Structures are given as structure tokens and as C-alpha cells.
Amino acid sequence: DATDTPEFTSEPVTSVSAEDVYRYQPRVSGPTTQPVRYTLVNGPAGMSVNPTTGEVTWDGRRQGLSLPVNPSA
């Protein structure tokens, strides 16, 4: 049900220096009565999301890329 879909209330990190690991801890809110489960819809190879906490991490130091990211809750 679309009315139970949580909404992101935080802005994602959109850049990271070449020496750092990308980290983004999203915040969500909404009328959902179920625990929120996170997935990564779109992102570069090696990027991961913790399905329980939603933390997105990626060690892009080797890739040096700038790519779109699309998490979902």
C-alpha cells in the first residue's frame, strides 16, 4: 500500500573525496507499521546498504567515479 511507504527525511551525501569511504545514514518517517527494510535500487559496483539500518557505504577510492545512487526504503 502506497500510504504505508516511508519517506526519506534526510538529504543523501552527494560527494566524497577520493581518499574517503562514502557513508550515508538515511532517516525515514511515515505511517508504516512494519519495520523498514532498505535496499539499494541503483549504485556503483561494491556499494552496499545495510537492510536494517539503511546505512549506505562504498569504498570508491579505487574507482574514482561519480555515479548516481538510488536507495529505497
Q: Which grid cell is 8?
A: 526519506
Residue 55's closest CA among 63, 47, 64, 66? 47
The mean pLDDT value for 34-62 works out to 87
* Cα distance between residue 24 and residue 27, in whole Å: 10
Mean of per-residue pLDDT scores for the chain: 80
Q: What beta strand segments (E) does the chain contain?
A: 7-8, 22-24, 28-29, 39-42, 48-49, 56-58, 70-72
pLDDT at 73 over 70: no
What's the Rg (C-alpha) of the chain? 13
Entry pTM:
0.71
Q: Which tens digit of pLDDT belongs to each residue from 17-46?
A: 777 888 999 998 877 677 888 999 888 888
